Amino acid sequence: MATTMSVSVTVNGAEYTADVEPRMLLVHFLRDELGLTGTHIGCDTTHCGACTILLNGTPIKSCTMFAVQADAQALTTVEGLMSNGELNPIQEAFKEEHGLQCGYCTPGMMLTGVALLESSPEPSEAEIRMAISGNLCRCTGYQNIVHAIQSAARAMAGNDTSVDGGAGGGNGASEGGGE
């Protein structure tokens, strides 16, 4: 029988504890153990950014961490962006600005955008492009993604839309991607 370790995490404001193999990647923990399939797997090798989530508010590639390394940390996945049944401004902006086509990169793009806007509420286009440089999109050509993040920045101005690694109030419903 494989050795297991206990991991306890807060995901989208809810606490989870599970026994997992030490080799289990965080992205597989989120998708297979918790059923949060909005976090996508593109490459499994830290290149594409499809698996991006927030770890204590900072974007990380969840295929690059073991689940046990996230013990006692607060995570935000795309499912946590909605609050009280309302889309996060970044979700609205991606919809309005046509910031997606197939949607595969979209959860990671939006979480990267949310983190950028937390640290830089009025980012320049160059800042936005730098922030999403670790997130690959094979469909859009990036222009509408940049427009969406700029639009979200305008919408968030003056509003408290903080996503601090668990305060997003997620309800488990998959948004912005699914499988």
Nearer to ligand FES, 37 or 161 (CB): 37
Least distance to ligand FES from the beta carbon of 51, Å? 3
Least distance to ligand FES from the beta carbon of 47, Å? 5
Least distance to ligand FES from the beta carbon of 146, Å? 13
Nearer to ligand FES, 103 or 169 (CB): 103
Least distance to ligand FES from the beta carbon of 140, Å? 5
The Cα-based distances of 58 to 68, 112, 143, 171 in angstroms read 18, 8, 24, 21
Nearer to ligand FES, 66 or 104 (CB): 104
Nearer to ligand FES, 25 or 161 (CB): 25
Task: Decide the pairing of beta strands 74-76 and 52-55.
Answer: antiparallel
Q: How far is CA 72 from the centre of its chain?
A: 18
Q: Are 96 and 144 in contact (CB under 8 A)?
A: no
Q: Are 57 and 80 in contact (CB under 8 A)?
A: no
Q: Are 104 and 65 in contact (CB under 8 A)?
A: no
Q: What is the contact surface with ligand FES in residues (CB under 6 A)?
A: 41-44, 46-51, 61, 63, 100-106, 137-140
